[in-house]
Amino acid sequence: MASSSWWRKPETKKPELVDVVFTWSIDDVLKRDLYPEVPEIPDIFSSSTEYSKSFMEPLIEETHAELRSKVNAISRASTRGFMAVFPRKDDKFPNDYLYSIHLVKGGSEMYEPEVGDLIALTNDKPRRVNDLKPYIIASVQGVNNDVIQVKSSIFIPAQKSRKGGVVVHLMNLTTNNRMWQALQSCLGGKNTKMINKVLQIDSMGNQECTICSIEDTKKSVSPKLQEAMCSFNLNASQETAVWSCITARECRHQETVNLIWGPPGTGKTKTVGCLLFALWKMKCCTLTCAPTNNAVLEVAARFMSLVIGSLEDDSYGFGDIVVSGNGKRMKIDGFQELELVFLENRVSALAACLSPTFGWRNTAKSMINLLKSPEDEYNLYLRDGRKVDDDELSIREFVTKKFKDLEEQLTTMVRKLCTHMPTSFVTPQLAEKMFTVIRLVQSICISEEKVITFTNTKEFLQTVKEVLCETASFLTFADDQDIGNFCLRNARLIFCTATGSSRLHTLDTNVELLVVDEAGLLRECESVIPLQLSGLRDVVLIGDEQQLSATVKSKVKGTEKFGRSLFERLVLLKHTRHLLNVQYRMHPAISRFPNKEFYDDRLQNGPNVEVESYTKQFLEGDIFGSYSFIHLAQGKIEYDKTYSGKNMVEVNVIVELLAKLHEESDNKNQKISVGCIAPYKYQVTAIQNKIGKIYQGESDFSVKIDTVDGFQGREEDVIIISTVTGGADGSLGFLKTPQRANVALTRARHCLWILGNGDTLKDCSETWEHLVDDAKVRGCYHQGHEDKYMGQLITNALVKLGQFNSLLDINLLLFKEAKWKVIISDDFLKSVSDMKSPESNKEVYSALMKLSGGQHPVETVSQGSALIKIYMVNCKGLRVVWSIDIMEENKRSVQVLRIWDVWQGTSVSKLKQLRPSINRFYHSLSDEKQGRCREKNYEGNLVVPKIWPMVDENHECLLGQIGAMSLTKEVGSSSSDWKW
C-alpha cells in the first residue's frame, strides 16, 4: 500500500475556477480594473441561489488580484526545469488540453509541485513580466515523483513540447477552487438545509427551543460527564456557553446555529475543548474546523489534553479522533500530543499493521507456529539457507531470537491497532482481549531444558486465536487513500481546516455537528464547504468580530465584504450569542483600554490577574511598567517596493531592549517570553536580521517577532509593539484597523510597551487617538528621550545609523548628562548631514561627547582669534570648529560650548569662510565677556564651565546680542540657526 498522490479522475465534468483563469490573457491578469466593479455581498439573502451567486464574482476578482500580485513579483517565483511535455488522453474530457510534464530532478531549493498549483511554462527563468510571453499556464492535477499531470490553458505544439524549459509557480488554486465548487453545489441546491438557516434573521433559528432547557439536559447526561464538566472549573459564562450547545445538540425539535463570543484571554480555547470533550463522551459525530492549520492544531491539542487525562486504557479510543491535513504545511512536529491522531501518521501505522504480508495477522500466526512447533520452525530456517557459514544459530539461539523479535512486533502492532482503529471496529471487549494478548505474550518463558519448550502459552494461544477470529472482518485496503477514507468515515471527532473538509463530501460520513473555531477569521464563502455536509444539524461558531478578519487582496469596489465571516454577518443581524466575559490573560493595566474601546467595559478581570504577584517589573523604571506608551519620534521611515516600511531606530531600540530583558532573565533566573509586533513585514525582517539566532535554544528566554496576523491566538509575558511611525511621515499600515489594533494590544500577559510617535498615531485612526489620550490621562505616556536608559538607547541607535540631525533635534539629547551646555549651529548640522560615512558621524559624535564632558585638548590657536579652537577628530583630517561662549541664566553668567562647523581635509578655506561671522559675533561682546570666554576652570583633569554671579542687572543678555546679528536668529524660533 505505497503512498501516492496520483491524480484521481473526477466522475463528472463540472465548471472549474481554473477554466475562468484560463480565459485571462497576460494583459488581463495585469489589469487592475479587469473587473471594475463587482456586486456587493448583501447582509441578507432571499434564497440559497442568491446566496451562492453573491460570492462567485467576488471570488473570481479575488483570484485575479492574487494572481496579479504573483505575476508582478515573478522574479521571486520558485522555478524548476522540465525536459519534455507529452500529451495524454482522457475520453471523458476530450476537449481539455491534458499533458504529462517530465521535470528535471529536484533539489532543496527547487519548486516542489503540489496538486492545485497554477504554473506557467517558459523558455527560461523569468526576470520580468514580459518573460512570461507567450503566456502558457497550466493547473497541476497530479504529482508522481518528477512527473506532473497538468491541464493546460492552450494547445502545446509538439515541436515546442520536446524542447524543454522552465516551470514557474504562480499560486495555488486549491482553496479558491474548493470554495468555487461549494458555491456550485449550493447553486444546485445540494444539502442547503444549514445554509437556509443563515440566509436572514427570520430563517436562522435565532431563538432557543422553548421545550428543551439546560437544566433538563444536565439531568439527562451521564453522571460521569457531569463530573467531568465540574472538574473543568469553568466560570459561569463558559459553563452557560457549553451547556447551551450541548442542549441544542440534544434537541430534536429544530436545527440550530449557536454563537460563542470569545474576546482575548477569556478562555475561548478551553471552552471549545470542554465542549468537544462533552460531545466526544456523548458519541456525537463532530467536525471541528478552523481557518488555518495552526488554529486547527491549537484547538485539537487543547481537546487532546483533556482526553489523555481521562482514558483508562492507554491510548485506546484515539481511533475515533482524527486530525486531517497536509503534514508539511501543518508542522505537527510541535504538537507531540497530536502525533497519534494525525491522519498521515495513522495511515502509515495501519498500513503496516494491516499488511497481508507483514501485518499483525501474519506476525500472530508466526508466533503461534513458533510456540507450537519450535523444532519445525528451526528446520525451516535451516532448509531456507538462512545460515551463513559459521554464523549458523543453534536451535536455542534461533528460538530465543525469533521469539523476541515476534514478541516485539506483535506487542507494537496490537498496541497500534488499539490506538488507531475506530472503536466501532475495535470494541472495548475486543480491546481488552488485545491488551490481554500483550500481557500474556510478555509472560511466556523459554524452558532451560534440553528440549525447547515454552511456559504459559495455553491462555495466550487461546486468546490470540479469538482475536484473530474477531478481526477477520477487518477491511482490506487498496492503498493509503482508502485507509485514510476509512479513518475519516468512522471517526467521531474530525479536526481540519474548513477547506480541508471538502474531502468529507466524497465520503459517507455521519457528521451531525459542526464547530468552527476562530470563526471571525473564516470567510463566509469558505464556511459554505462544511455547512453543506449531509446530515449536519447543528453549528457552533466561536469567534470575535472585534479581532482579525480574513485579508482581501482585491481593491475593486464591491469586494470589501468578501473577507467578512459568517460569524460577523450574524452578529450584524443581532443573532443571539454567548459572551465569555472574564479575561485571564492581561494585567488589569493592559486590559483596561481594549475593554473600554472594543467591548464597552463588558469584560471582567479574572482573579488570577488581580493578585499582586501578577505585576511584573522586568526592567527598572516607570517607563517599563505593566502598560507604557513610549513616545519615540526619531528615525527615518524606509519603504521597500511593496511599500512595506521599517524604522531602524525602533529596530535598534527593540534589539537593545531584548538584550536587556535577556540579561535580566539570566541574572534573576526568571523565565520570560517576549513578542515583538510590527505592522510591516519589512520591520519584522529587519528585527529578525538584527537578532539572528541569538536566543534560539534558550530554555528561559524566548522571542517571537511577527506581524499582528502571526500573533492571533498567541500570548507572551512581554509584548513590544513597534508602530514604525518615527517621524511625521510614519503610518500604521495594517495596525490602523480597529481589529488589528485590538489583537496587537491584547497579546501581553504582564507588560505591554508601545513604541511610536504619539502625534503621528493620533492622526492615523480614531482608535489610536483614543489610545494616546488614554495613556496620557493615566500617566502611562512617556517621552522616550527623557528617560535616562531609553534616551541612551535612542542616542546609540541614532549614532549607529548616522542620523545625527535627529539626535540634535530632541532637546540636545546628546548632552543631557554632559558637564557643558552646547550650542549647535546650522552650518554644523548641514555639514554633518552631508557626511556619507556612518563612521565619520560616530567619530564626530564621540568628539562632541568628549568636549561636552570636559575633555578639552590643547589645540593650535587659529590666526585672527584666540577664542576659536579646532578639534582634530581623526588622523584623516576630520575637524570640529568650536569655542567658548557666555550665556546668562538664573542671574548667573555661565560658560557654554559653541559648535561652529565640521569639515574634512587640511584646507583652511572653510575656516576662512567662518572667520568673518565669528569675528563679528565676538566683537559684539564686551571685553569682560571675551575675557571670561578665555578663562578655564578645572575639576581634576576635566575643564568644567565657570560661573559668575551677575552684578550689572542692566547687562545686555546674550539672547539680545544674537537677535541683533544678521547671521543668527533667536534661540527657539522656528527657523533658528542655533539649537540648544
pLDDT digits (tens, 9 = 90+) for 381-399: 888 766 555 578 888 889 9
Computed over every residue of the chain, the mean pLDDT equals 87
Residue 313: other Cβ atoms inside 10 A: 12
Domain presence at residue 478 = no
Percent of the chain with pLDDT over 70: 89
The pLDDT, as a whole number, for residue 579 is: 98
Residue 635 pLDDT > 70: yes
Kindly state whether residues 171 and 263 are assigned to the same domain.
no
Residue 960 pLDDT > 70: no
For residue 572, give the C-alpha cell: 450584524
Considering only CA atoms, which of 477, 507, 479 is closest in space to residue 491? 507
Rg (CA), the chain: 37
The pLDDT, as a whole number, for residue 722 is: 95
Kindly state whether residues 925 and 869 are assigned to the same domain.
yes
Residue 730: other Cβ atoms inside 10 A: 25
Higher pLDDT, 730 or 149: 149
pLDDT band at 13 (very low <50, low <70, confident <90, very high): low
Domain presence at residue 46 = yes
How large is the greatest C-alpha to C-alpha distance in the chain, in angstroms?
A: 126
The pLDDT, as a whole number, for residue 336 is: 87
Per residue in 449-477, pLDDT (tens digit) is 766 778 888 999 999 999 999 998 887 89
What number is the average pLDDT over the span 863-890?
A: 80
Q: What is the DSSP string of 610-651?
A: HSGGG----SSSGGGSSEEEEE---S-EEE-TT--EEEHHHH
Q: Give me the phi and psi of 516, to 5 degrees please.
A: -115, 110
- Burial annotation 422-449 (CB, 10 A radius, 16+ → b, else e): bbebbeeebbebbbbbbebbeebeeeee
What number is the average pLDDT over the span 121-126?
A: 93
For residue 7, give the C-alpha cell: 491524480
Residue 893 pLDDT > 60: yes
Residue 493 pLDDT > 90: yes
Kindly state whether residues 363 and 457 are assigned to the same domain.
yes
Domain presence at residue 590 = no
Cα–Cα distance, 399 to 405 (Å, whole number): 10
Range name among 158-162, 457-461, 526-530, 543-547 with the lowest pLDDT average? 158-162
Please check whether residue 88 is in contact with residue 6, taking contact to mean a CB–CB distance below 8 angstroms: no
Please check whether residue 871 is in contact with residue 798, taking contact to mean a CB–CB distance below 8 angstroms: no
Cα–Cα distance, 429 to 418 (Å, whole number): 11
Domain presence at residue 40 = yes
Please check whether residue 193 is in contact with residue 539, taking contact to mean a CB–CB distance below 8 angstroms: no
For residue 306, give the C-alpha cell: 483533556
Cα–Cα distance, 496 to 291 (Å, whole number): 9
What number is the average pLDDT over the span 644-653?
A: 93
Per residue in 591-621, pLDDT (tens digit) is 999 999 999 999 999 999 999 999 999 999 9
Kindly state whether residues 26 and 57 are assigned to the same domain.
yes
Cα–Cα distance, 472 to 651 (Å, whole number): 65
The pLDDT, as a whole number, for residue 798 is: 84
Cα–Cα distance, 153 to 138 (Å, whole number): 6
Kindly state whether residues 154 and 223 are assigned to the same domain.
no
The pLDDT, as a whole number, for residue 10 is: 42
Kindly state whether residues 954 and 837 are assigned to the same domain.
yes
Q: Hey, which residues does 321 pair with through a beta bridge? A: 493
374-383 and 395-420 helices, crossing angle to 10°: 100
The pLDDT, as a whole number, for residue 814 is: 66
Give the global pTM: 0.85
Kindly state whether residues 867 and 899 are assigned to the same domain.
yes
pLDDT band at 964 (very low <50, low <70, confident <90, very high): very low
Percent of the chain with pLDDT over 90: 59
Cα–Cα distance, 655 to 650 (Å, whole number): 9
Kindly state whether residues 309 and 221 are assigned to the same domain.
yes
Domain presence at residue 543 = yes
Per residue in 80-92, pLDDT (tens digit) is 999 999 998 876 7
* Element counts in the chain: helices (H) and strands (E): 35, 33
Residue 859 pLDDT > 60: no
Cα–Cα distance, 400 to 405 (Å, whole number): 9
Domain presence at residue 56 = yes
The pLDDT, as a whole number, for residue 791 is: 85
Q: Give me the phi and psi of 70, to 5 degrees please.
A: -70, -40
Residue 726 pLDDT > 80: no
Higher pLDDT, 916 or 81: 81
Cα–Cα distance, 30 to 200 (Å, whole number): 38
Domain limit, last residue, from 144, 168, 187 = 187
Which residue type, as a one-letter code, is found at position 766?
E
What number is the average pLDDT over the span 50-64?
A: 96
CATH code of the domain containing 210: 3.40.50.300
pLDDT band at 640 (very low <50, low <70, confident <90, very high): confident
The pLDDT, as a whole number, for residue 890 is: 81
Cα–Cα distance, 765 to 725 (Å, whole number): 13
What number is the average pLDDT over the span 684-691?
A: 96
Domain limit, last residue, from 187, 216, 233 = 187
Kindly state whether residues 621 and 727 are assigned to the same domain.
yes
Per residue in 179-236, pLDDT (tens digit) is 999 999 887 777 889 999 999 875 544 566 767 777 778 888 888 888 888 899 999 9
H or E, element range at 771: helix 766-777
The pLDDT, as a whole number, for residue 858 is: 65
Question: Which residues have CB under 8 Å from 120's CB, separation 6+?
Answer: 126, 132, 135, 136, 137, 138, 167, 168, 170
Considering only CA atoms, which of 570, 586, 523 is closest in space to residue 264? 586
pLDDT band at 926 (very low <50, low <70, confident <90, very high): confident
Extract long-range pairs of 273-276: CB within 8 Å, 24+ residues apart: 273/299, 273/302, 273/303, 273/305, 273/306, 274/229, 274/232, 274/234, 274/238, 274/242, 274/306, 275/241, 275/242, 275/245, 275/246, 275/515, 275/540, 276/303, 276/493, 276/515
pLDDT band at 980 (very low <50, low <70, confident <90, very high): very low
Cα–Cα distance, 803 to 114 (Å, whole number): 48
Cα–Cα distance, 842 to 927 (Å, whole number): 37
Please check whether residue 513 is in contact with residue 284, taking contact to mean a CB–CB distance below 8 angstroms: yes
Query: H helices within 421-496, ranges in order?
Result: 428-441, 458-470, 480-489
Kindly state whether residues 670 and 636 are assigned to the same domain.
yes
Residue 914 pLDDT > 80: no
Domain presence at residue 657 = yes
What number is the average pLDDT over the span 306-335?
A: 87
Kindly state whether residues 702 and 664 are assigned to the same domain.
yes
Residue 278 pLDDT > 70: yes
Number of domains observed in the structure of the chain: 5
Considering only CA atoms, which of 163, 166, 159 is closest in space to residue 138? 166
Range of the domain at 69: 17-187
Domain presence at residue 415 = yes
Q: Hey, which residues does 289 pair with through a beta bridge? A: 496, 516
Residue 504 pLDDT > 70: yes
Residue 293 pLDDT > 90: yes
Which residue type, as a one-letter code, is found at position 250?
E
Per residue in 788-816, pLDDT (tens digit) is 889 888 888 887 887 766 666 654 566 77
**3 state DSSP class of 722:** strand
Residue 904: other Cβ atoms inside 10 A: 17
Kindly state whether residues 778 and 653 are assigned to the same domain.
yes
The pLDDT, as a whole number, for residue 496 is: 97
Per residue in 834-849, pLDDT (tens digit) is 877 778 888 888 888 8
What number is the average pLDDT over the span 245-268?
A: 92
Cα–Cα distance, 166 to 752 (Å, whole number): 49
Cα–Cα distance, 229 to 239 (Å, whole number): 8
The pLDDT, as a whole number, for residue 952 is: 55
